[in-house]
Structure 1
């Protein structure tokens, strides 16, 4: 069994079309067909079956795909670590992060690290809360920032960097817009603009409102922070967002107001794998961010 056979197999499985896979990886279609045939002969099973002009995985093909992807991720990771040990100052750090940390948190952390490590590069992957946890477990990335920090389990190590309050964002013409603070119960009759169900900031808002004694009436949903803020600015409703999602001032036509009761907070932190070693540049970055936020907390 050869690595190229696994790579060809995964590409065809992903595209369900041999010629499209051949075009993507710049290899002759006949070469891909031959290598997959050799792989099937070696395994003694059929991995694909015809589906019109396309192909699709057989049940055993689906099983093999899962293991083939895991094997290639492990090999690619091993190669990356070897490259970094040969030249630790020029590593590439893959980081996952959610949309709520994109505008201020990530640029601050990366620029601060790059000041001391100019030759280290980054590959950034934005994703949902569950996706980022699974990505660390499945070797797709080794470091992910999350808020709130998940419960530690057998596969991931967690570290809390800081805790932040959740505030209300209101249209600037809202009757409560001039208040210095509000009780969350003051918004019980309002229409809310929230992230879709299944996203962690949706759940944080729902839980906060239930803590205040009501279930929010969700009138609109936005897939990202800009959409949420834009809908609030347009007067479509109110929302709840973490402090780190705001710049120096809230968006135009909106007002950010602290919630005095109940106090709603979330933790923000980082997760790394427990059962595999970080590459040298990843170790350096992990140590840096822990020290960076420790010093920031001491200063504050």
Structure 2
């Protein structure tokens, strides 16, 4: 069955007049008549009795009418939903967010996107970098924000967002807080609280061990908030990206000699067509003033004066 045939039938069942139904559908009467005949042939029965002054639906026509009406209601709903999706009046965007990325650098980005595209529901899905890559490849998330120390897969396309240094976080009264910067060698013999999900954890550990620096490791956790809280309680130090710090009051010092920096990117699947929501988010990330926003963040907190 063709949609125009059903539309002509519904117009005729309302008007019960071939001429007026044809005018309503903006077609000639013979064209409408042929469409009705074609529809009857496909259904195997007569839909309309055409009598002089008494055009009316047959029993089959009365039976079919509510089904056809429901079909067009659903079609209109589908068109409205599609239009809302395309025009971003009603859409959902799932963003994979690496669990070690703090909210500081992204809050304004998300707020700006929401302000411009209020019909898009932004769903954040947490995970490690490797997990996000798998979800992205499977289409279970639309885009991902993460970083890895190794080369990215050629199947993915990355848009650089911002860079951040790795810092040493300690309690304000910790001896290391008296230093303006902290070298790897300054960590000798200190208690290290390990952030298990840190994607640079092995890189930094291998570098430390290569130059013979030994630390104690009394605690490790997948939860950054727990590690930071234990650091604040004076239980040791941790290595953490500068914009991932969320516990107020921590003393944060740049890690130098060597310095470690991670580059956070927006990742999409190379060659996969962007949905309107993905396209809008990619555009928002490209136009976001990362450099200007970076200037609003102090890069090297002043050291706590020793008493």
TM-score bracket, normalised by the shorter chain, equals 0.5 to 0.7
The alpha-carbon deviation at position 246 of structure 1 amounts to: 2.2
Give secondary structure in 2 for the equivalent of 1:89. coil
Matched, 1:251 2:240: no
Give secondary structure in 1 for the equivalent of 2:273. coil
- The separation in 1 between residues aligned to 2:181 and 2:107, in whole angstroms, is 29
Counterpart residue number, 2:161: 161
The alpha-carbon deviation at position 270 of structure 1 amounts to: 1.1
Give secondary structure in 2 for the equivalent of 1:88. coil
Instruction: Report the RMSD for the aligned CA atoms in angstroms.
Output: 2.7
- The separation in 2 between residues aligned to 1:298 and 1:169, in whole angstroms, is 20
Counterpart residue number, 2:201: 202
Please identify runs of 4+ aligned residues in structure 1 that moved more than 6 A.
297-300
Give secondary structure in 1 for the equivalent of 2:144. strand
- The separation in 2 between residues aligned to 1:156 and 1:91, in whole angstroms, is 24
TM score, norm. by length of structure 1:
0.64
- The separation in 1 between residues aligned to 2:82 and 2:95, in whole angstroms, is 19
What are the Cα deviations for residues 27-84 of structure 1, in whole angstroms up to 9, with x where unaligned? xxxxxxxxxxxxxxxxxxxxxxxxxxxxxxxxxxxxxxxxxxxxxxxxxxxxxx9576
The alpha-carbon deviation at position 265 of structure 1 amounts to: 0.7
Relative to structure 1, the CA distance from residue 123 to residue 161 in structure 2 (aligned partners, 3 Å threshold; closer, same or farther) is: same
The alpha-carbon deviation at position 201 of structure 1 amounts to: 4.5
Runs of at least 5 residues in structure 2 that lack an aligned partner in the other structure: 1-80, 297-307
Q: 1:195 touches 1:201 (CA, 8 Å); kept in 2?
A: no
The alpha-carbon deviation at position 295 of structure 1 amounts to: 5.6
Give secondary structure in 2 for the equivalent of 1:173. coil
- The separation in 1 between residues aligned to 2:294 and 2:277, in whole angstroms, is 26
Q: 1:161 touches 1:293 (CA, 8 Å); kept in 2?
A: no
- The separation in 2 between residues aligned to 1:230 and 1:298, in whole angstroms, is 26
Runs of at least 5 residues in structure 1 that lack an aligned partner in the other structure: 1-80
Q: Which protein is bigger by CA-based radius of gyration?
A: 2
Q: State how many pairs are aligned.
A: 216
- The separation in 2 between residues aligned to 1:149 and 1:243, in whole angstroms, is 17
Relative to structure 1, the CA distance from residue 84 to residue 282 in structure 2 (aligned partners, 3 Å threshold; closer, same or farther) is: farther
The alpha-carbon deviation at position 219 of structure 1 amounts to: 1.7
Counterpart residue number, 1:227: 226
